[in-house]
Structure 1
Amino acid sequence: MWKRIPKEKSIPPTIGKYSDWKPLLAVEGYHQCLYCTISESSFGGIRNFHVEHYRPKGIPRFSHLENDYSNLYYACAICNTFKSDDWPDDPDEMLTKACYPDPSKVDYALLFGVDGITGLATGKNLTGIYLSNKLYLNRAQLIIERRSRIAKKRYEELINIIIEQKKVLFNLAKSGNKNALILLENLDQKLSQVEAIFHLKDSTNPYNSNQTKKLTS
């Protein structure tokens, strides 16, 4: 989910100011939030994302970096608002204190892990714990998003297993194996059931009050 942002591959623009460069930062940042990894497609598109000043421009010693492309990243409006001008300490690449590691040098996957069942994000170290709490990375919206990703991954894995089994059974059925034909029919039914269960999410609204309470309890 989290990725290092490869600033060394980007060509800094020579005209305009930081607000003009959001489309470039979106491409550089994989079209997802630097901090919570929610994607444009899940969060209403580029309009709901901000240009993030990694070293906050509101802190006097960083004000000269306001239009420095190397200091700019792509973040969702919520994470960027929570971060604001927060800068507890200069970065520590050992991840042993409250700070914001340089996203062009540190893969934030080193900071966070995600529970494969609940979808909860956890800090792997002191830096990760601090950022997870400061940026509220276990917002209900993000938990739902992660659970959806987990379910999709499991669904794809299961579909691939079923497809491989169908290939084997199809070849056996072609050779006259009647049991293989019966199993193939049963497997087709299972495939339809799996697809129907997975696509229930497309018609389910996850934002009613009871479900939100359960996710945050």
Structure 2
Amino acid sequence: MRKVKRTNTPDSLKVNGNTWTQELLSQVKDKGKFSKVTDSYKNKYNQQDVRSALEKMYKAKCCYCEYGIGTASYEHIEHLKPKADPRFHHLIYSWNNLHWCCQKCNMAKGNKWNDGNPIIDPAIEDPADFIEFDVITGEIVAKSGRGKTTIEHADLNRESLVKSRNRIKEQVMKLIVQTKLTPSPKDEIFYKDYIMEFANEEADYSSYIKQLINTYL
């Protein structure tokens, strides 16, 4: 995870958000249960300007695992405070509650919520204050209760994800070794520039790579 800056509220939510919220709450009251309300009242946040803003905000990567989405995985609009939880129905169309997420992290998180140690909000907090990487294993380690919640709720140490992070780690570590061994100053600059491409905010797992660079380079 990495900290991002939230953009301005998309026009569709700015113009219609309050109305959509009131219509939804009215439907929940009439039907007696959120699950009985038709999707047309619950999914109006799925607008093109909302999707575009979230994709841009997160550089087309999942807000939790930092893997690029849209090609190998479906992108989801994620509600940090779960929309199915009755306490958060009023936040379904709140821009500050929406994030960009891959299918696997979104399915893992589901409707989980921890009042005592809520999941990290990368749009207002720096995840590095709550979690860090084990540069040996590629797993994410909690630095606090909220870090532990985030890891568990989004399943950030699932086997396939750790393996994927470590495949990129192997490439980066080879470049780091070459950087340190080369006698050529020009080659050293070349390798360092190449390494930094892996740490670019648009690259997969860039937070992990930055920690590797800080540790080994």
TM-score by length of 2: 0.63
CA distance in 2, matches of 1:162, 1:102: 41
Highest CA radius of gyration, 1 or 2? 1
Structure with higher RCO (Cα < 8 A, 6+ apart): 2
Select the residue among 76, 82, 102 that pairs with 2:102.
76
CA distance in 2, matches of 1:130, 1:62: 18
Aligned length: 156
Matched position secondary structure for 2:161: helix
Written as runs of structure 1 = structure 2, the 5 A alignment for 1:95-174 is 97-163=116-182, 165-166=183-184
Equivalent residues of 2:120, 2:147 under 8 A apart: no
Q: Which moved more, 1:128-137 or 1:23-32?
A: 128-137
Change (3 A) 1:18 1:136: same
Select the residue among 18, 26, 42 that pairs with 2:55.
26
Equivalent residues of 2:65, 2:105 under 8 A apart: yes
In the alignment, which residue of structure 2 is the partner of 1:11? Answer: 8
Q: CA deviation at 1:156?
A: 2.6
Q: CA deviation at 1:117?
A: 1.9
Equivalent residues of 1:32, 1:40 under 8 A apart: yes
User: Which consecutive unaligned segments of at least 5 residues does structure 2 have?
Assistant: 14-43, 188-217
Change (3 A) 1:166 1:62: same
Question: RMSD value over aligned CA atoms?
Answer: 2.5
TM-score by length of 1: 0.63
Asked if residue 54 in structure 1 is aligned to residue 80 in structure 2, the reply is yes
User: Which consecutive unaligned segments of at least 5 residues does structure 1 have?
Assistant: 90-96, 170-217
In the alignment, which residue of structure 1 is the partner of 2:210? Answer: none
